[in-house]
Structure 1
């Protein structure tokens, strides 16, 4: 999916029909840096579903790692730090632990299964999430997403089921 194409399509709809768009509701596939930045530049409020990633069985969930905004780092359950490492092309920031420090940790088995004893903690949207919101233009609210599910997803389901567009 070309995400810039999605913003171009939105621009086309606004220009063609003269819509005064204040907010858009999107599914979780659109929760990316370029989409959020484009919506912010257009001063459009984005309501985007959040993907819930589950940790592997036996490993600490992401919530056990606390973010220290003053020093831009994460603190693990054993009070050791994960420092910022890099940002990938999709906008995910990676925080990594020191393998030498982690190799002797009593909580290592619950933290990571990596061979070099290093924990890598990716965060989405260019920063950590704070109570269901990111630092970008996105907010997760139930009512607009519920309306989207009723209006949009129903028509997609009808198209797939009734009009043979399942594999289109």
Structure 2
């Protein structure tokens, strides 16, 4: 998981807010309190959702007891299950996600996050739309690495040419030389991928 890797490398990740995917009118996950000592969740009615299993994807599953929840006054906000059981999942690395949430709410990080759309996301947007990175056009890792490499070289040359033009109008000549060079090379799909 990305959050775990970044935090273990002592980097501070700044992830975007992810809206909870809960039906409207139902309790959200943050309304259930996790008790680390007993390894269970407590529902808003103070009943335990005990640990049941861990699946292959690394999610720990917690379940309420149907015989307790069947008479609960908040059951309509909690579950639609016929067995009156409320399931809840927690990833084994959930604590890393919680740390990234704390980092996101820390003082000054909102301003840093706003700069992200000016720098990083703009580059990925350019690669995704005009350069066709929304979907892969080639089969195989080697072919896609070749396409990605050539695309990023072209994007960097374009960026360099714009910087040089802004600094000095005489450097416009550089841009034309690069364009002529690329036209002479005539980069074709067959040349790149064989």
| TM-score, L = length of structure 2 | 0.55
Structure richer in helix, relative to its length = 2
Correspondence 1:139 to 2:91: no
Partner residue, 1:46? 13
Greater alpha carbon shift after TM alignment, 138-147 vs 96-105: 138-147
Q: 1:100 to 1:128 in 2, by over 3 A?
A: farther
- Note the alpha carbon deviations across 1:45-94, whole angstroms, 9 max, x for none: 32223422131123222232222333232211222111122333443332
Counterpart secondary structure, 2:85: coil
Correspondence 1:72 to 2:36: no
Partner residue, 2:83? 116
Q: Output the aligned Cα RMSD.
A: 3.0
Partner residue, 2:185? none
Runs of at least 5 residues in structure 2 that lack an aligned partner in the other structure? 137-194
Correspondence 1:84 to 2:60: no
Bigger relative CO (Cα 8 Å, ≥ 6 apart): 1
Runs of at least 5 residues in structure 1 that lack an aligned partner in the other structure? 1-31
Correspondence 1:93 to 2:57: no
- Runs (4+) of structure 1 exceeding 4 A deviation are 135-138
Structure richer in strand, relative to its length = 1
Q: Which structure has the larger Rg?
A: 2
